[in-house]
């Protein structure tokens, strides 16, 4: 009888602890788009290391839908070892800037070679819904969390697609609506200048992306040409992608845009 009482008491204690546990609040960053969110070659352990207070929502294996350390390569839909993106640099700068004792969680949702014309990022498409659902999951399971920014880096896949501007505008409006984030900073990033400047169509496409700031409120543009052009030692090598140095610089430019939008 005593053993049964102890067992029942232990079970009750465990259940009570589970029900009374409230997960900690986070400052939430959503990163979506295609490969230039995370495909920079040249991982450097001292520069690209994870740090305390910055997490990610896992995606693969046992990490799926769990809060885990933000270790490069982040768990985007696509990833490759020894490659990095701008997200961790951005998160480190944001953590220092906010200084509010909340941890940061990155929700990595990009996938290389994807766009609107191939039905990946329109409302209702798989990648779009995955991004929305993952943000909602974190927000619902971590009370008092706050979505602080949406970072979008995409365009290469849709070069020459005549409906790109309409689809990009719809994406910005729709995802903000679905995440109740009308006033949350939404920052778009420019494609690699060397690659863009080789084609009039690419230049026109880049202009659509950069002019998003004129078509929407609280939208910023991480400009790869200002205050200086982001280049590689050899621009011809993998010319469509930023390398790790370029990705870190992009992270800083995304962050500078964030500050402009909230100050």
- How many helices (H) does the chain have, and how many strands (E)? 8, 9
- For the stretch 196-200, contacts whose Cβ atoms lie closer than 8 Å and that sit 24 or more positions apart, written own/partner, are 199/159
User: What is the fold, at CATH topology level, of the domain defined by 23-262?
Assistant: Rossmann fold (3.40.50)
Per the document, the length of the chain is 263
Q: Where are the domains of the chain?
A: 23-262
> Tens-digit pLDDT profile for the chain (263 aa)?
333 333 333 333 333 333 333 478 999 999 999 999 999 999 999 999 999 999 999 999 999 999 999 999 999 999 999 999 999 999 999 999 998 989 999 999 999 999 999 999 999 999 999 999 999 999 999 989 999 999 999 999 999 999 999 999 999 999 999 999 999 999 999 999 999 999 999 999 999 999 999 999 999 999 999 999 999 999 999 999 999 999 999 999 999 999 999 98
Measured between alpha carbons, how far is 184 from 182 in angstroms, rounded to an integer? 6
Find residue 107's DSSP bridge partners.
Answer: 30
* 3-state SS assignment for residue 108: strand
pTM: 0.91
DSSP reduced 3-state for 62: helix
Rounded CA-CA distance 113/98 in Å is 33
**The pairing of beta strand 186-189 with beta strand 146-153:** parallel
Q: Please give the torsion angle defined by the CA atoms of residues 111, 112, 116 and 118, in that order, rounded to the nearest 10 degrees.
A: -110
Place of tokens 């049964």: 4
Nearest CA-CA partner of 186 in 218, 209, 212, 228: 218
């Amino acid at each position: 009888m005593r053993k049964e009482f102890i067992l029942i008491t232990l079970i009750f204690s465990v259940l009570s602890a589970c029900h009374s546990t409230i997960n900690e609040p986070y400052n939430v960053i959503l990163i979506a788009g295609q490969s230039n969110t995370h495909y920079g070659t040249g991982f450097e352990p001292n520069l690209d290391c994870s740090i305390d207070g910055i997490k990610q929502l896992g995606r693969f294996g046992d990490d799926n839908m769990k809060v885990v350390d933000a270790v490069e390569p982040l768990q985007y839909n696509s990833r490759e070892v020894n490659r990095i993106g701008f997200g961790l640099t951005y998160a480190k700068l944001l953590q220092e800037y906010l200084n509010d004792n909340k941890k940061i969680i990155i929700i990595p949702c990009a996938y290389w070679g994807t766009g609107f014309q191939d039905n990946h990022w329109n409302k209702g498409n798989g990648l779009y819904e995955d991004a929305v659902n993952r943000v909602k999951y974190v927000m619902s399971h971590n009370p008092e969390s706050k979505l602080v920014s949406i970072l979008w880096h995409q365009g290469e896949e849709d070069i020459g697609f005549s409906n790109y501007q309409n689809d990009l505008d719809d994406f910005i409006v729709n995802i903000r609506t679905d995440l109740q984030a009308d006033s949350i900073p939404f920052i778009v990033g420019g494609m690699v200048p060397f690659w863009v400047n080789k084609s009039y169509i690419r230049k026109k496409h880049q202009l659509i992306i950069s002019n998003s700031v004129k078509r929407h409120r609280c939208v910023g543009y991480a400009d790869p040409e200002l205050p200086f052009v982001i280049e590689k030692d050899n621009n011809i090598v993998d010319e469509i992608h930023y390398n790790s140095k370029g990705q870190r610089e992009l992270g800083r430019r995304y962050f500078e845009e964030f500050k402009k939008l909230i100050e």
